[in-house]
Amino acid sequence: MYSPTENPLSAYRRFRAQTAFIEHLRIQSGLLALAVIINILILYLLQTAGVWLLRGWFRRFPPVLLSSDAVNELFTIFLYLAAFLLPYLVYAHMVRFPYREIPHDPPYPPVLFACTGVALGVSLAGSVLTAMVASVFALFGLFSPPIPMHLPADSFAAFLFVINTVILPAFLEEFVNRGIVLGSLRRFGDRLAVVVSAALFALLHRNMTQIPHAFLMGLALGFFVVKTHSLWTGIFIHLMNNLIVLLLAVGSLQMNGWRLALLELCRMFFYGGAAVMGLVYLLIVRKVDLSLRRLNSPVGEGKLWSGLLLNVPMVMLMLLFAWVIWLSFYH
């Protein structure tokens, strides 16, 4: 629609600009959805094939130089790199995303530590939200299994386990989610880019015990990467969060009763205190602007989101995620 006073040629040009913008978004959204679908398919196919092959291999050739735990951890590294890296490199190539647009400024240390403190508070809020969501699903007889975490007895396997649970996710997931996905979507506005990258980050965890927590953390990580102009901020926060979770999980294996309750209470106070100090520094000392850049696009917010979500690959992805999450429950 255009006003009677608007020049017909200007109205036509505006219409063409809107159409081209939405079509560009729809194509890029579809390519991103296809990358995520391929990610999930590679993950499931390699997991199934890998377990079958490793079991057959161990029966014929018991491990000598490496323990079975070490071989499993090495296979997990290969699986992680294949499933979580290759599809997004192809996606970045297809949308012609220049890697130099990934923000990589060295973060200012006080700001970095303040952001990490706030992120720990967000992690605490995510844990509470996850417990609430799990309670709601439990009312319908749906239970999502917790993620087991224990160090292998073999020292080399334990070293690989730390790489798999602490180091590799921090670098790889941040490069993919806050580097490629968020970076390639910023041309459509920072708000959309942060929310979409956080949603994909959460859904790729494929388990309702992790999705609410991962979504809130994804929002925080994306926000801090944009505000500090540095992917290193996201990597550091992700690394610290994973390390603390691992230390607490390993430490809690030797505890029960009141000791376990005391450890959880200390964690809550530590996370909460870190969040308060971080907020005070960022909001009062640094006076950080909490708003995210909204793109001055030729279309409104509603058409922007409909262009993102209403395409065949994205609908297929949402159906696939619904099925995967449903399978994650105990029935």
- Over 70: is that where the pLDDT of 305 sits? yes
For residue 216, which of 95, 290, 136, 118 has the smallest C-alpha distance?
118
Least confident stretch, 56-65, 94-103, 307-316, 317-326: 56-65
Output the pLDDT for position 55.
Answer: 59
pLDDT digits (tens, 9 = 90+) for 56-78: 665 565 666 667 778 788 888 88
Render 45-104 in DSSP notation, one character per residue: HHHHHHHHHHHHHHHHS--SSS-HHHHHHHHHHHHHHHHHHHHHHHHHHHTT--GGGS-B
- Note the pTM of the prediction, 2 decimals: 0.89
pLDDT of residue 331: 47
- The Cα–Cα gap between 193 and 181 comes to 8
Task: Copy the structure tokens of residue 126.
Answer: 């995510």
Per-residue pLDDT band at 43 (split at 50, 70, 90) = confident
Alpha-carbon span 143 to 258, nearest angstrom: 26
DSSP 8-state assignment for residue 329: S
* Mean pLDDT in residue range 102-121: 94
* 260, pLDDT greater than 90: no
Which pLDDT score, from 0 to 100, does residue 74 have? 84
